Structure 1
């Protein structure tokens, strides 16, 4: 997942994202998702987020839902 969050703050984002996963990927061009960042910790602390929405690929339309709890390294 890449989410351009230059301010480094919690919030809702609907642009500047790329998601890659086993079996595919989508970007702002092919996806319509909301990335909700609920916690944006300092380097070494956690970033918490959810992603909900839809995307389209060569096999049709799909629903995408995920949650993340990752350690920030940059």
Structure 2
């Protein structure tokens, strides 16, 4: 092998090592970032659920009146005379 071929193979090997290290670094970074995003999303979902529960309790009477009003059947329409 000539000196030029050895230099080329050396720099090619360094290129692939650096490329693999960057890939691995980005992969680990994205996994950690995804984990924090999932934890944050879970926390926000819990906060939203707690707010919904408190609103449900706060407006319990209004909700019950609304449900009661919806469950009362309306007066039957006049029957068709055939």
Q: What band does the TM-score fall into relative to the shorter chain?
A: under 0.3
For normalisation by structure 2, the TM-score amounts to 0.14
For normalisation by structure 1, the TM-score amounts to 0.15
More helix, by proportion? 2
Relative contact order (C-alpha < 8 Å, sep 6+): which is higher?
Answer: 1
